[in-house]
Structure 1
Amino acid sequence: MSNGTTTLAVAFEKAAYPLGGHGKRNADVLKEAFREIEGSLVSDMYGKGSVIEDFQQQMAEQLGMESAVFFPSGTMAQQIALRIWSDEAGIRRVAYHPLCHLEIHEEDGLKELHHIECVLLADANRLITLADIKDMQDEISCLLLELPQREIGGELPSFDELAAISAYCRSNQIKLHLDGARLFEITPYYQKSASEICALFDSVYVSFYKGIGGIAGAILAGSSSFTEKSKVWKRRHGGDLISLYPYIVSSNYYFQKRIRKMTQYYDGAKELAMLFNQCTKAVTKPGMPQSNMFHVHFGVSKAVLEPILIGIYEATGVGLIHALRELGEKSCYCEISIGDRYAEAPLAQVKAAMQMLDQQLSNVDNVE
């Protein structure tokens, strides 16, 4: 057991084998990306120059879209996408999930900056379905779908359901936008390429600091007319920095390094989830991960579980969880995203840590 002076996050990073993510987000991430970059590399300037234009073209091709624009943040890119579709339709109303990033993490930016009304579809604990969209009473310009739906454990609709939603939106003049922050991470589950998934959407945003592991940055892609409008809004939002090349170089470097590892990450997530589901008082959501990320819910409080985990990290050298969030008096949960680090951990040690967790959780009722 821990002596009570070490926090869970510190113990996780001190462990020989922390299981989640790619590693610490420190200066080495940028140094590695620039290691083989010539000093003669010419910076982009206000969205112009080969370093940004070549990357935008590369990503447009990867996503199967006509054009793409690099943004410093996904928050900016997505608000702009919904503004463009709202202006085109003449309808200042969009729809998305109650736990959409724009609804819970952006201080109402879409509503305050763009005066766009938001319709919340479906129950917060489940995915949006075609039935939800058909039952909607409000006229909307655009429907935003997040794939995977992060706040409920990374759940995904079936591809057939997704295709049916796309067909319905197109037949009813509703633009369909993809919050694809973790788009590349879902390709193994669907057994589809990124471009095959994006073909169902009118516009798409992808992130370069989540599963890809870059410094920061995002791509917004769609038709050429759409992206030209997005460039105007990017300038209005202050997103046309004099140069974005540190973000672009790191995005391109880590994209090339990790794009072929998405199946590895997905398989690691499934393996680890199976081990968690064998532990007393632990259950993953979803039961089997549908991307490289999932949630684990525990039937004990955060205050009880944290010292147990710290003790396991110190005894086995395996860091299972970085942080816990309270759910109730006797429940908590965590989010786990699998990246490069999981493959570095010996499976025998991971299993030993899980067995210790199972034993400790089995004794919780006797201790409380």
Structure 2
Amino acid sequence: MYTPSADQSLSEAFNLTKYRVGGNGSRSIGVLKAALEQVEDHIESDIYGTGKVIEQFQEKIAKFLGKETAVFFPSGTMAQQIALRVWCDELGTKKVAYHPLCHLEIHEQDGLKELHHIEPILLADKDSLITLSDVQNLKEDIACLLIELPQREIGGQLPEYSELAEISKHCRAKGIKLHLDGARLFEVLPYYQKTAAEICELFDSVYVSFYKGIGGIAGAILAGNETFTTESKIWKRRHGGDLISLYPYIISSEYYFNLRMGKMGEYYEGAKELAEKFNHCYSIETRPIQPVSNMFHVMFDAPKEKVEHALVEFYQETDVGITGNLREYTDTTCYCEISIGDQYAMIPDEVIEEAFTLLGRKMKEIELT
């Protein structure tokens, strides 16, 4: 039962709601317990990157991605910095290119620059996708171009597959390695109507995550040809990524991969449905207007403090949670990120309809205050 409080923060109010529009549920220790219940106690642990439990999973995901080999990493941050380092060493150039809002640029404390002394070249405007023209007009010699699918920080936007193919063709002609930041690769397959292997064929190396749409504990895979992955294993050891055992991450990754991989189409349809409801609300618009994956941004045309206050009241009155984290976009606008998972389908239709009717009224009230 919801316990209202006049001075609740947005995150506190969100955490008390019964229904959440996004995600796969609470990230409690139950996420790991559910995965471990599916395996026998006698299965041997992996040891410093070797053993059946890790090697079989690596082979499984390499095949799914259409790549020769794959390496399991405890984090995507480690995997992607290493991928770019390997390509820079191979091509003898300490420069790479990526989007201005790439994870490596804004969330990793300059790890690529400080640890590997690699210089990033920022392509495209921060609010736009990287285009073929951007790549063709590069003035610098680079070892690798990183493309993120979808581009999370601008609402999960995607290039058309035909343009992606042209970028790949250009990079191969110029001897530029193409790396895929596929943290949410699984989630874009329904939009592209392609297999993971078909998309990954365009790239020389691929990173995928197992805790985002899949919902595992943590962990990532880096895939490519054998020369690339052999070198990445050396760097994994140098980075301290060869923990004595990674099986809790591997077992949960495989369990939730098996459980949710087939649901990506359902999540995508749910995202389109939910975005349409937001776009019918006063002073709210999604980015993009129609999602191209299971995630999108919700843009509120009102100051952050006012929207937070309205959402706290909304949560208390409806028991429906949208977000616990609003971000300021401008002085007079704000936004949040929504990623559809198992939770959305659990909300009764009548609850969601009544909630969005109220949300529209709440946004109109803001204009009057």
* TM-score, scaled relative to structure 1: 0.98
Q: What is the CA distance between 1:63 and its match in structure 2?
A: 0.3
2:123 paired residue among 118, 121, 128: 121
For residues 13 and 339 of structure 1, what CA distance do their matches in structure 2 show? 17
The Cα offsets for residues 304-357 of structure 1, whole Å up to 9 and x where unpaired, read as 111211222222221122310112222111000000100100122112111101
* Counterpart amino acid of residue 244 in structure 2: I
Q: Distance in 2 between matches of 1:10 and 1:254?
A: 28
Name the amino acid aligned to 2:231: K
State the partner residue of 1:321: 323
Whole-Å Cα distance in 2 between the matches of residues 256 and 108 of structure 1?
A: 34
Residue 18 of structure 2 is matched in structure 1 by 16
Superimposed CA distance per residue, residues 191-219 of structure 1 (whole angstroms, 9 cap, x where no aligned partner) = 01111110000000000000000000000
* 2:273 counterpart of 1:271: yes
Shift of 1:106: 0.5
Aligned to 1:203: 205
Match of residue 334, structure 2, among 318, 328, 332: 332
1:332 counterpart SS class: strand
What is the letter of the counterpart of residue 273 of structure 1?
A: A
Question: For 1:304, which of 303, 306, 330 is the aligned residue?
Answer: 306
Equivalent in the alignment of 1:165: 167
Note if 1:358 corresponds to 2:360.
yes
- Say which of 230, 246, 249 aligns to 2:248: 246
Q: Equivalent residue for 2:79?
A: 77
Equivalences for residues 76-155 of structure 1 within 5 A: 76-155=78-157
How many residues are paired up? 366
The alpha-carbon deviation at position 3 of structure 1 amounts to 4.3
Q: Which residue type is aligned with residue 218 of structure 2?
A: A
SS of equivalent residue, structure 1 residue 340: coil
Paired AA for residue 305 in structure 2: A
Instruction: For 2:207 and 2:115, locate their aligned partners in 1 and report how far apart those are by CA, in whole Å.
Output: 19
Q: Contact 1:140 / 1:174 at 8 angstroms: preserved in 2?
A: yes
Q: Deviations over 1:247-294 (max 9, x none)?
A: 000000000000000001111110010000011111100111011000
Using structure 2 for the length normalisation, give the TM-score: 0.98
The residue type equivalent to 1:155 in the other structure is Q
Q: Is the 8 A contact 2:314 2:362 kept in 1?
A: no
- 1:224 corresponds in structure 2 to 226
Secondary structure class of the residue paired with 2:328: strand
Partner Cα distance (1:347, 1:304) in 2 = 28
Residue 41 of structure 1: CA displacement? Answer: 1.5
Q: What is the distance in 1 between the residues matched to 2:5 and 2:223? A: 51
What is the distance in 2 between the residues matched to 1:83 and 1:360?
50
Report the counterpart of residue 289 of structure 1 in structure 2. 291
Whole-Å separation in 1 of the counterparts to 2:343 and 2:260: 12
> How many angstroms apart in 1 are the aligned matches of 2:45 and 2:276?
47
The answer for unaligned runs of 5 or more in structure 2 is none
Following TM superposition, by how much is the alpha carbon of 1:36 offset from its aligned partner in structure 2, in angstroms? 2.2
* Paired amino acid for 2:22: G
Q: Secondary structure at 2:343's aligned position in 1?
A: helix
1:189 deviation in Å?
A: 0.6
For residue 291 of structure 1, what is the amino acid of its counterpart?
Answer: S
Letter in structure 1 aligned against 2:149: L
1:213 is aligned to 215
1:169-184 alignment runs, 5 A limit: 169-184=171-186
Match of 1:48 in 2: 50
**Aligned 8 A contact 1:4 1:307 in 2:** no
Aligned equivalent of 2:343: 341
Deviates more, 1:324-333 or 1:68-77: 324-333
Amino acid at match of 1:200: L
For 2:138 and 2:289, the matched residues in 1 are separated by 30
Code of the residue aligned with 1:13 in structure 2: it is N
Q: Which runs of 4+ in 1 moved over 3 A?
A: none
Residues 28-48 of structure 1, C-alpha deviations (whole Å, 9 max, x = no match): 111111112211121000000
Alignment-mate amino acid for residue 175 of structure 1: K
State the alpha-carbon separation in 1 of the partners of residues 10 and 24 from structure 2: 18
Residue-by-residue CA offset, 1:32-85 (whole Å, 9 max, x unaligned): 111122111210000000000000000000000000000000000000100110
**Deviation digits for residues 223-252 of structure 1 (CA, Å, limit 9, x no counterpart):** 011101100110011000000000000000
- In the aligned structure 2, how far is the partner of 1:232 from the partner of 1:363? 58
2:240 partner SS: coil
**C-alpha RMSD of matched pairs (Å):** 0.9
What percentage of residue pairs aligned between the two structures are identical?
60
- Measured in 1, the distance between the counterparts of 2:304 and 2:6 equals 14
